[in-house]
Amino acid sequence: MFWLVFLVLSIIMAFIGSSWLVKGKELPGGFWGILVASIIGVWLGNAIFRSWAWVLSDVNIIGGIIFSLIVIWLWTLVGAKGEA
């Protein structure tokens, strides 16, 4: 159940990040690059805020959301080609 919640949260955050943070920018890897950044962010948020706040099947939802958005934002800063 851990992996299911982990992957669903990563996919949802990748869609939110791609529609909210990536507008008009071209990133290396496209959506797959954003998905990898989201997976790294959810993993990092889960590792740092292990049992704090809202936890579902040993996945910290709040930490995953926060760190996923941060990592996607950093990915758009580093890899973006397009509008400034």
Which tens digit of pLDDT belongs to each residue from 25-82?
Answer: 777 788 898 899 999 999 998 888 887 878 888 888 998 999 999 999 888 888 766 5
- pLDDT exceeds 90 at position 8: yes
C-alpha dist (Å) from residue 53 to 35, 46, 48, 69, 78 = 24, 11, 12, 18, 31
Contact 77, 27 (CB under 8 A): no
On whether the pTM is more than 0.75, the answer is yes
Main-chain phi, psi angles of 37, to 5 degrees: -65, -40
Nearest to 33 by CA among 67, 72, 66: 72
Q: Identify the H or E element spanning 56.
A: strand 55-56
Confidence category of residue 19, pLDDT binned at 50, 70, 90 = confident
Domain boundaries, the chain: 8-15+26-82
